Structure 1
């Protein structure tokens, strides 16, 4: 595990990106299969009707098996789509099996934007998020663009908006001892790796698969 006390966020981000990039294709496939086994039969995944995932980039652990499983089970699945304008905004759009995808400005594949198929993030049941680094307390270090943090900023304004459940997905080698969170960082309920679950709060995280209704009218 990396000790973070002497590293800046930029240094830590560079080190952890190098770690995950160093995983060869065979180890990446193994990690993806182990991640699938960690989540596919978990109550949180099974009970979610609307869930968002991502397509891997830059060595991120691949949730593709989970995406395929969700679609086979008839779940509504969503991928992030970056807006052309404003360029810092990200939305979540429903995607179907076999749908053609196009590279965005970061060369990450995404559906062709279609507002009729986009869904407000607070109406999703489960959001599976990529990350660069994580700790066992729900801390998440992203790529630095702030797209997820901006999409989830409503949670700071409306603390009773508990949807969606936020799970980070990562390789085990991305774990650090402690992340210093900035004011805009949105903590995770848990991080799931190819080896283990790291729940920020066992009383709240859905190890029992609890999905919350949104009691916050301002989020509707």
Structure 2
């Protein structure tokens, strides 16, 4: 698995800068096909890091619509979500996190956009390997109980693989969105 993760991370990093911008812009209309955004929703997203596809156009759209947006903040071995504001600090991985008093759990989000290292057509994902999202979203394995949030993975098309070996702790996604497809 580690070699596949490394290969996919490199593919992600090798995407040229002008394509990164173009592909990032293409995510918003793809997402709008499946998400009915409303002002009272709470949307979790991420800041692009380590070659991840950038959801900045989605973030800007949500801000213009005055929809509340949240970013992950590390809380022990899992994640909480802090409302995006003006002030940030870097976490132990050097990723900026909002400094906010409005911190919520994943269960309080309506939609959560998740970065991927790799994915397959069955909506399984390979993450960075820390398990933060899987631990945070463990409650989603009880589908009759947990309807929220909808989990949408964001990726470049080149990150798709034929099949991912699923582990018992892996949380599948509801949809995966790439610049050219919705799975």
For the criterion TM > 0.5, the same-fold answer is yes
Report the equivalent of 2:89.
102
1:129 shift after superposition: 0.2
Report the equivalent of 2:35.
44
Report the equivalent of 2:79.
90
Distance, in Å, in 1 between the alignment partners of 2:18 and 2:90 is 24
SS at match of 2:35: helix
Report the equivalent of 2:62.
70
Residue-by-residue CA offset, 1:14-58 (whole Å, 9 max, x unaligned):
00000010012111111111112212x335152471110000111
SS at match of 2:70: strand
Residue-by-residue CA offset, 1:153-207 (whole Å, 9 max, x unaligned):
1223564211100000000000001111100000001100011101xxxxxxxxx
The alignment status of 1:151 with 2:133, answered yes or no, reads no
One of 161, 174, 187 as aligned partner of 2:159: 174
Contact 2:78–2:133 under 8 Å retained in 1:
no
1:100 shift after superposition: 2.5
Report the equivalent of 1:34.
26
Distance, in Å, in 2 between the alignment partners of 1:155 and 1:196 is 24
Give the TM-score normalised by the residue count of structure 1: 0.78
Give the TM-score normalised by the residue count of structure 2: 0.93
- Structure 1's unaligned 5+ residue stretches are 1-8, 199-220
Distance, in Å, in 2 between the alignment partners of 1:49 and 1:43 is 15
In structure 2, the CA distance between the partners of 1:155 and 1:37, relative to structure 1 (3 Å rule), is closer
Report the equivalent of 1:5.
none
Report the equivalent of 1:217.
none
SS at match of 1:162: coil
Work out which of the two has the higher radius of gyration on C-alpha atoms and give 1 or 2.
Answer: 1
One of 2, 8, 12 as aligned partner of 1:16: 8
- Structure 2's unaligned 5+ residue stretches are none
In structure 2, the CA distance between the partners of 1:129 and 1:19, relative to structure 1 (3 Å rule), is same
Distance, in Å, in 2 between the alignment partners of 1:148 and 1:23 is 24
Distance, in Å, in 1 between the alignment partners of 2:80 and 2:50 is 21
The total of aligned residue pairs comes to 182
Distance, in Å, in 1 between the alignment partners of 2:130 and 2:123 is 19
Report the equivalent of 2:47.
55
Residue-by-residue CA offset, 1:133-152 (whole Å, 9 max, x unaligned):
00111101100000000101
SS at match of 1:58: coil
